[in-house]
Amino acid sequence: MSKTLFERIAAKEIPANLIYEDEHVIAFRDIHPQAPAHILIVPRKPIPRIAEAAPADHAVLGHLLLKAAEVAKLAGLTNGYRLVINNGPDGGESVPHLHCHILGGRAMSWPPG
């Protein structure tokens, strides 16, 4: 089975503007930003999408969200930000590897889509 794009970024096979990394997650700037600050935070474990996460993934999912808040703070998003997880084609998923978008640097409107 071939590696996902995000596995290849985590393995440093593809360059990315890394902001944060540890043994469980990596965070880097999106190459097609949808806001002034658009950062992806990705678990190193290749979970295809949130709907396919297993109970055994609860620790990595919790870590992902806690680190998303830390990365947002590192990026200076002190006035607020939005976290987005897309699931499936109708949800806007383009890479089959669970990831969280951190969007900020401007006021977000509602509804989003």
Residues acting as catalytic residues: 99
Question: What's the CA gap between 36 and 32, in Å, rounded?
Answer: 11
Residue 36's Cβ-count burial label (10 Å; 0-12, 13-18, 19+) is exposed
Name the CA dihedral angle for 46, 19, 93, 60, rounded to a multiple of 10 degrees.
40
